[in-house]
Structure 1
Amino acid sequence: MRAQLIEKLEAGRVQHGRFATVPGSGPCGVFLVQGPCGCELKISGFVRPGWEHVAVSTPRRCPNWEEMCFVKDLFWDEEECVMQLHPPYSQYVNNSRYCLHLWRPTHRDIPMPPPSFVGIVGLGPSDAAMLFARMSAAP
């Protein structure tokens, strides 16, 4: 599966023009890839001192969760933690209306809350919906 994703990414590499990179340049470059929701994704990958960074955009809207998960899997292993950041307003940089970013520091682990702080571990969306429906219907 991972090899197929890397092939898909490499097939979308921009090889001509201002943002061209040569095949085999790894995660650095600009890529045009068909996303899982039917929209072409423009993906820019960078390795900066201390950081790996991927920017994801579409022509008419911000990428959705499924698209961001898809891109995360193109660039990182499924057990690696990456993040989207909401910086202080004074540090906002917004060069594109429909662009979101993924970040991973290269010299430290990203702190994460325990999974149980997010929801009920082991409970899928359908089961959770039924549980919450029963809870809200109870007198």
Structure 2
Amino acid sequence: MRAQVVDKLEAGRVQHGRFATAPGSGPCGLFFVQGPCGCELKISAFVRPGWEHVAVSTPRRCPNWEEMCFVKDMFWDEEECVMQLHPPHSRYVNNSRYCLHLWRPIYRDIPMPSPSFVGVVGLSPSDAATLFARMSATA
């Protein structure tokens, strides 16, 4: 982990009470960190059998995309793939209304679709908006 990230996590580590972990315990534990959108993020990170798991919540709403990317980059390298899952309804567990989860299997790669399935590779959001506006005008 990068030094700045380690410092930020360590500063927010819960060190007392039921969910306390010792300083220097690495990326496992409960943390309170100021997020990039001005909201404090509650982050719990643990290794489970075969999985790395990070849960992210805020006091009044679900974390947004920017906050989830921020947390992802705190715990994993920017080129590692992690995922949010939408399990079958019969497997839902909802202990916190405003919590989202990031997962990474330890012993295998996550299959990924081609980036071109998502959109036009290399096109910026503003260029994409212009292109789609032109397409709508001619339709």
Shorter chain as normaliser: what TM range?
over 0.9
1:38 partner letter = G
Q: What is the match of residue 78 of structure 1?
A: 78
| Cα offset, 1:137, TM superposition | 1.1
Q: What is the match of residue 101 of structure 1?
A: 101
2:125 pairs with 1:125: yes
Distance of 1:64 and 1:50 partners within structure 2: 27
Distance of 1:10 and 1:137 partners within structure 2: 52
| Cα offset, 1:93, TM superposition | 0.3
Q: TM-score, normalized by length of structure 1?
A: 0.97
Deviation >6 Å, runs of 4+: none
1:56 partner letter = V
| Cα offset, 1:3, TM superposition | 2.3
Distance of 1:7 and 1:124 partners within structure 2: 33
Counting aligned pairs with the same residue, the percent is 87
Distance of 1:131 and 1:31 partners within structure 2: 42
Query: More deviation in 104-113 or 5-14?
Result: 5-14
What runs of 5+ residues in structure 1 fail to find an aligned partner? none
Summarize deviations over 1:95-126 as a string: whole Å, max 9, x none. Answer: 00000000000000000001100110001111
| Cα offset, 1:88, TM superposition | 0.2
| Cα offset, 1:72, TM superposition | 0.1
What runs of 5+ residues in structure 2 fail to find an aligned partner? none
| Cα offset, 1:6, TM superposition | 2.2
Supply the RMSD in Å over aligned alpha carbons: 1.1
Task: State how many pairs are aligned.
Answer: 139
Summarize deviations over 1:1-52 as a string: whole Å, max 9, x none. Answer: 9321221112110111111101111111000000000000000000011000
Query: More deviation in 1-10 or 59-68?
Result: 1-10
Q: TM-score, normalized by length of structure 2?
A: 0.97
Q: What is the match of residue 51 of structure 1?
A: 51
